[in-house]
Amino acid sequence: MLNAKTGLAVTLAAMLATTPKAVTAHPHVFIDTGLEVIFDDQGRMTHVKVTWQYDDLYSLLLAEDYKVDADGDGALTDQEREDLTGFDANWVQGYAGDLEVVLDGQVLKLSRPIDPTADMIKGRLISSHLREVSGSPKLSGDPVSLKAFDPSYYTAYDVTLPVTIKGRDDCDILRIEPDIEGQLALMQAQLLSLDANADLEENDIPLIGGEFATDIRITCPAL
């Protein structure tokens, strides 16, 4: 799967080859991502539905691991679909689901995955799940920000699937793309200032995943 994030991975790998050995962050898994923000009949944001479509290579590896699509036709049988459902929803303790939702400067607490689904489309595994938004906040003019990213950047999330709103028709969606070139230049300057054996944590070098994430901002009027 070739996209902007794939090109970024190549750039990062080349750049990091001559910087401190503690740095290994570049994507190994690429996921096309979709988001659906769900409101109830009182206009409260109750859930976010997340869709992940895995890249071709990782889909192949997962299919082999879970012993599905044995005939190689790029689709699942009903039984395989049932068996695979939830394969990526059994999260280890502390895993935040690679989704950050921020309102009024506060990161909102999200539930673990609910109602997972799984399928395969043209050889690529695709899954979805719901995340309940704690407190079901009402939006009152200030935007809510949604970012899909892995802080360590082992996995690259590219928001190429639809971003939609369910339950309200009066909200605006703004998509803010990351300044990839600027962030790369800043990172390179930080890394080149360090000794080759430097420890990144001791030198306050941050995790980079969030810097390369598309920022989806949804604004709704107060009801």
| Residue partners of 82: CB distance under 8 A and separation at least 6 | none
pLDDT tier for residue 97 given thresholds of 50, 70 and 90: very high
Helix runs in 72-139, H state only: 78-84
What does the pLDDT average to over 30-52? Answer: 97
Domain extent for 21: 4-219
CA distance 168 to 186: 40
Q: Name residue 190's amino acid.
A: Q
Token look-up 């339950």 returns 167
What is the DSSP secondary structure assignment for residue 133, as one 8-state letter?
A: B
What does the pLDDT average to over 124-138? Answer: 97
CA distance 20 to 205: 11
pTM for the predicted model, two decimal places: 0.82
Token look-up 């309200």 returns 168
What does the pLDDT average to over 167-186? Answer: 84
Assess contact for 148 and 157: CB atoms under 8 A.
Answer: yes
Q: What is the pLDDT, as a whole number, of residue 212?
A: 84
- For the cut 70, the answer to whether the pLDDT of residue 170 exceeds it is yes
Assess contact for 124 and 33: CB atoms under 8 A.
Answer: no
Q: Residue 38: beta bridge partners?
A: 47, 166
Residue from 174, 165, 192 nearest 35 by CA: 165
Residues of the chain with pLDDT > 90, as a percent, come to 67
Q: How many domains does the chain have?
A: 1
Token look-up 């394969």 returns 87
Lowest mean pLDDT among 32-46, 120-134, 171-185, 201-215: 201-215
CA distance 199 to 205: 9
Q: Would you give the distance in Å from CA 102 to the centre of its chain?
A: 15
- For the cut 80, the answer to whether the pLDDT of residue 3 exceeds it is no
Assess contact for 49 and 130: CB atoms under 8 A.
Answer: yes
- For the cut 70, the answer to whether the pLDDT of residue 28 exceeds it is yes
What does the pLDDT average to over 79-98? Answer: 95
